[in-house]
Structures are given as C-alpha cells and as structure tokens.
A and B are shown apart, each in its own frame.
Chain A
Amino acid sequence: MKEGKKEISKYSHIKRLFGIYFGILIIFIILRPFLIPKSFGKFGHYRADSIADNINLPTKYADIKECESCHEEEYKKVISYSHKSLNCQVCHGALSAHIESPDENKPLKEMNRNSCGICHFEIESRPSSFPQVNEKEHNPDEECIECHIPHNPSIK
C-alpha cells in the first residue's frame, strides 16, 4: 500500500454493492404500493375493476321482445310460421340503435337472392333435413321475394 493514499477496506466493494442493492430494494418497497392498481388482488391475481370495465361495454343487439310493442303484426306473423326460430336481427341487423331512435336508425330491409341463399342454397355440408334449393336450378334469374314472403316463407 503506497503512502498518502487512503487505506481502502478489504470489503469496501461489497459494502458499496450491498448499499446500492438495499437502496434499490427500499425504493422498490416504497414505490410498490403506488404502482399496483388499487383493486389488484381483490379476487385473485388480476385487477377486480376490469370485470366492471368488461360489463359496461355497450350492447348493439337488442332483446326482440321490444320489437313487438311497435311491430305487433309482423312479430306475430313471424312467430306463427316456419321462420319462428329466427331472431328479427338475423335479417334486419343490430337493432339497439333503432329502438332508441327509430326514425334516425332504420333497420336493414334489403333482400336479394344471396340473403336468402346464405342459409337456403344447397350445400353438401348442411343437414339434409334443412330446406335447401339448388342455386342454379331453382329459378336462377328471379328474386326470392317474388314468390316468398320472408315473414311467412311458404309460396304466395
């Protein structure tokens, strides 16, 4: 050891290392409660408020019982014929907005061959008990609604 220089302890580097380590540890312990979201761990290893976030998302598809109050005639027609298992929103699109402001948000009313065919064109994978027509043989140039009314699909 040269003279004039401060004598360095044998363990000083370890002390410095531990100093830094414990310093960081103390900062971590102090900051930890502030960094963890408040509801974390209430029910498990997740943020409990997130359940409420998921529940509060808006719904676009409505309950079709509300359709009956304005469109009673059509509603009764649909539930008494073979399309009775169909929800109004299958053909008319999401209706929540229409129920809130009926004049501004009109439901879908377009009907062409494809909107019927998406269910009723013949495909080998469909259950054979389901009513299907051959796309090319069953009056290929005519619209379905010329013969069938969607609310009561038997022939006019």
Chain B
Amino acid sequence: MTRRDFINKLKFFILTPFFKNELLNLIVQTFRYGKNKFGMVIDISKCIGCGECVRACKEENNVPKYPFYFRTWIERYIIFEDGEVYVESPDGGFNGFKKISPPKKIAKSFFVPKLCNQCEEAPCVQVCPVGATYETDDGVVLVDKKYCIGCGYCIQACPYGARYFHPETKTPDKCTFCYHRIKKGLLPVCVLVCPQNARIFGKIDDPDSPVYKFLKSYPLQVLKSHLRTHPKVYYKDMDMEVR
C-alpha cells in the first residue's frame, strides 16, 4: 500500500460517521410521520380541569381506582407574580380541583391534561428486552400483556411518566389512544367526554381530520421536545413553564 492509498482510505474512515448520520436521518425521515398515523391536539386554554377525562378513562380501560394509577391525568400550574411555579395534581384530577387562596398574587394559572405522548421514537419501545411494547402502523404504542415479562424498564424509560405497573395483570399499562375504540371508528373516551372539546383527535395527515386542520392553522408545541422523542400529542397555548 502506498502512502497515497493509505491517506485515501483514511479519508473514507474519517468521513464515514458524517455520511452515516445523513443516511440514518434519511431513513428516519422516510418513516416518520408516515401515512395514517393518529395524533391528538390538546387546547390548554379551553381545559376547565373538571377531570371527566380521568374518570372516563379509568372506567373504560379498567384502570385501578387508586389515586396513583393513571392513563391520563390533569396537572394544575399556578405561576405567581414573583416567578414561583406551583404544580399540583390532587388524585390526578379524578375528583376535580378545589379553589385555593394562596397568600401571594397569581400571575397566571391553567390546567394541563397529560397522557402517553405516543412518541415516534419511543424510549419505552427501545428499552423493552423482549419486544412486548411496540409501535403499530397507526403510530400508537401498545403493550403486549401476554408476552410482557414485567421487568418495568419501560416505566423507568418513559420521560413523561405515562406508564404505570398494573397490579392485577402485573404488566405495565399505558394510554393506547383507546386503540380498541379508534379501530372501530369511535373516538377515545377522553376526547368523547371532554365538555369543552379541549381534546381533538384524528389522523395527522388526513385532510378531513380535525387534527390535520389544527396542525396547519395554529402554532403548537410538544412536551420535552429537546428529548427528540417526536410526540404525536400536541399542545396549543402551552406556557414555557410546562414540563
């Protein structure tokens, strides 16, 4: 091998990581936001914190009634005039919220409903050692309760805390966008019962779906975008203090 050949080959090795990234991005972008994926938009300015979605979700999906198991829950943010942020979620919003009279002056306050974000690059799917949690063609992350070994890695991996360990099935459980309903042409229960229509559900890329119209007409945000999980739950009018 001449010196010229050696340097030429070395150049290839140095450049490989850059090209690899380009290639990977190309592959990822082809599959991301693919056809027929489901998504949800939550309009924070409309939510009144009644907790109906939490109660309906527990009823529909057999979520245990204990106040620490949730597929969806509501958080209340209070931002005081001195900049202090207070976040609470009594029973996940199951019994609604009560008026509080804090000593300090409130600058702004709002409710944030939360649920599984159905990430495109879900950390929970990546860590599952047996392939018991996965993303379907519709973009919904599901749990295979028969195949799951119950190790709980996915619960730890989820940056949104959307998973919990179901005490009866002994497997993790999470929001599935009510997969048993949406595949039968019904709406998820939280969307169905929301009295303010603060939740909007549909296919992301279908021009007839309300989510498509929302995505095209309003500025929207996702939770923890810096983690690059690419959630399919979008928030309208979200404050920067929301985590």
Q: Are A89 and B192 in contact (CB under 8 A)?
A: yes
Q: Are B56 and A89 in contact (CB under 8 A)?
A: yes
Q: Are B147 and A50 in contact (CB under 8 A)?
A: yes
Least Cβ distance of A111 to chain B in Å?
15
- Number of residue pairs A-B, CB distance < 8 angstroms: 115
Question: Who on chain A is nearest to B52 by CB?
Answer: A90
Bound-state CA distance A15–B98 (Å) is: 75
Q: Are A55 and B180 in contact (CB under 8 A)?
A: yes
Residue from B77, B111, B176, B197 in contact with A54 in the complex, judged by beta carbons closer than 8 Å? B176
Chain A residues, CB < 8 A from B144: 46-47, 50, 53
8 residue pairs from A and B, CB less than 8 Å apart:
A50-B147, A54-B176, A54-B179, A59-B180, A61-B186, A90-B52, A93-B59, A119-B96
Residue from A54, A60, A126 in contact with B48 in the complex, judged by beta carbons closer than 8 Å? A126
Chain B residues, CB < 8 A from A117: 96
Report if A130 contacts B (CB, 8 A).
yes
Q: Using a Cβ–Cβ cut-off of 8 Å, how many residues does chain B contribute to the interface with A?
A: 49
Bound-state CA distance A89–B179 (Å) is: 20
Report if B220 contacts A (CB, 8 A).
no
Q: Are B192 and A87 in contact (CB under 8 A)?
A: yes
Residue from A40, A50, A60, A86 in contact with B142 in the complex, judged by beta carbons closer than 8 Å? A50
Report if A58 contacts B (CB, 8 A).
yes
Bound-state CA distance A85–B192 (Å) is: 10
Report if A14 contacts B (CB, 8 A).
no
Bound-state CA distance A37–B144 (Å) is: 12
Residues of B bordering A, CB below 8 Å: 45-52, 56, 59-60, 76-78, 95-100, 106, 109-111, 131-137, 142, 144-147, 176, 179-181, 183-184, 186, 189, 192-193, 195-197
Question: Who on chain B is nearest to A135 by CB?
Answer: B99
Q: Using a Cβ–Cβ cut-off of 8 Å, how many residues does chain A contribute to the interface with B?
A: 38
Report if A75 contacts B (CB, 8 A).
no
Residue from A40, A51, A121 in contact with B131 in the complex, judged by beta carbons closer than 8 Å? A40
Question: Who on chain B is nearest to A132 by CB?
Answer: B48
Bound-state CA distance A117–B195 (Å) is: 14
Bound-state CA distance A117–B98 (Å) is: 10
Question: Who on chain B is nearest to A89 by CB?
Answer: B193
Chain B residues, CB < 8 A from A130: 48, 196
Q: Are A125 and B131 in contact (CB under 8 A)?
A: no
Q: Are A119 and B180 in contact (CB under 8 A)?
A: no
Which residues of chain A in 77-126 are interfacial with respect to chain B, using CB atoms and an 8 Å cutoff?
Answer: 85-87, 89-90, 93-94, 117-119, 121-126
Chain A residues, CB < 8 A from B193: 61, 87, 89-90
